[in-house]
Structure 1
């Protein structure tokens, strides 16, 4: 995947239509507004000056609130884009750059980060044959800058009680997706009525309960399809799908193709 940079404005009424995970890295910097970001099962409150690092395969969804308009810059790039850095610095140091999903850039250093982003936007317009190299260099500079910002850890954000409970519920679902867990069971674990839990889970995470559970299961199934040659029906059962037909329909809805086609597209037989 090539390097892509885009600037987007969202209203607080915007809702991401589909759940979201992908095989590339995504960085987004919030210039204005406020949003909540769920990554896998953890909630982050994002404010202007925060930059989020989302690794390949991580389920995430953004919900906006309070501000009429939110502006963000998104940088997307494939794993291969980091190959030269891995060769020079080693895999461990390169992956260490992504150790924290949310980074609060100190107020006095935000201008530096924003200048790097503007330079990447300028080169993305295709100034000349050197633009690709310049964009890559600016990206490396930004990643190293962000890594150094992480050394000064900010105070952890204390979530409201109800939202902390929802985060705990998401974590439980995330780790128990293979079981036949129900909405009622999870609601009881966090001492909420099923109806209230259902509404609150959607409001806080952006996901419906069943949608979140299905996406966790499909993500795991997709990984097994790519990394093993096990029968599809066996994978479906292991990932919590009791019905093979339902698994196929759910997989196609989320990934766009049937499980067997997905496996062949990736060269797995």
Structure 2
């Protein structure tokens, strides 16, 4: 957390500080390869058209129209724009300074906007977001206000309001992105767990074995699995095994007494009880009914 950047605790301390624009531009880049550099302030870059790549020491990020990247103070980065795809960008670089009677301050925003406070607590040096058009509108208004050439309190009031609005909107986009990312990760965990069950249903497995394969606590996996699949892991595994058992009984000559072993159940009596509970028929009756249907179909042919 470098001094001068957005996360500097000083801005939310005992005094009141507001954003101070250090630099800005609305520009098209063409075949541009910038060297690594850092700023003593925070930078927003928004892609209006075309594509570009922003590279940091953590890797490269490809950006297209509608993408926003925030780079905090002290983050080494460089911009790369290929000749084949010129990139038009909006850029604003800012730090903070004492309010001098112009509000809202960084402290007020943090104290009164939970998403902005949470954004500051995360302390991410690089943030990449997909805009919903709001950020572009705010940035354009901000750059136009700076370009007009006004001076004094009127200009400062407007630019402070606009960049404060920008900070709140970016914090909300980041919160939505984090929520979506968490939901995608949960879905992935459940997907891996289901795949594990399909691959190991014929083994003697328990919910804890599935949790170990996904590298999650069993209780947490049980909760997210039930929420996403509407059945517990045990219920899902039982249904899967019974479907496999029906296939074996209807389409193969595997002896009924061996079907339980084929689907990972050690007890034949338990298998028969489960099968009848879920199908309303014993394994023997189910096989007989399927054999009768097949015989009737053959006779019809």
Give the TM-score, by structure 2 length.
0.44
For the pair shown, the structure with the greater C-alpha radius of gyration is 2
Give the TM-score, by structure 1 length.
0.49
Structure with bigger RCO (C-alpha 8 Å, 6+ apart): 1
